[in-house]
Structure 1
Amino acid sequence: MAPDVQLGGNVKIFDFANLYGCKIGDNTRIGTFVEIQKGAQVGLNCKIWSHSFICDGVGNLLGYCVV
Structure 2
Amino acid sequence: MTASTRVGEFEQLRPHLLAVAYRLTGTLVDAEDIVQEAWLRWESQRSNAINDLKAWLTTVVSR
TM-score, with length taken from structure 1: 0.28
Which structure carries more helix by proportion? 2
Which structure carries more strand by proportion? 1
Q: Which has the higher contact order (CA 8 A, sep 6+)?
A: 2
TM-score, with length taken from structure 2: 0.29
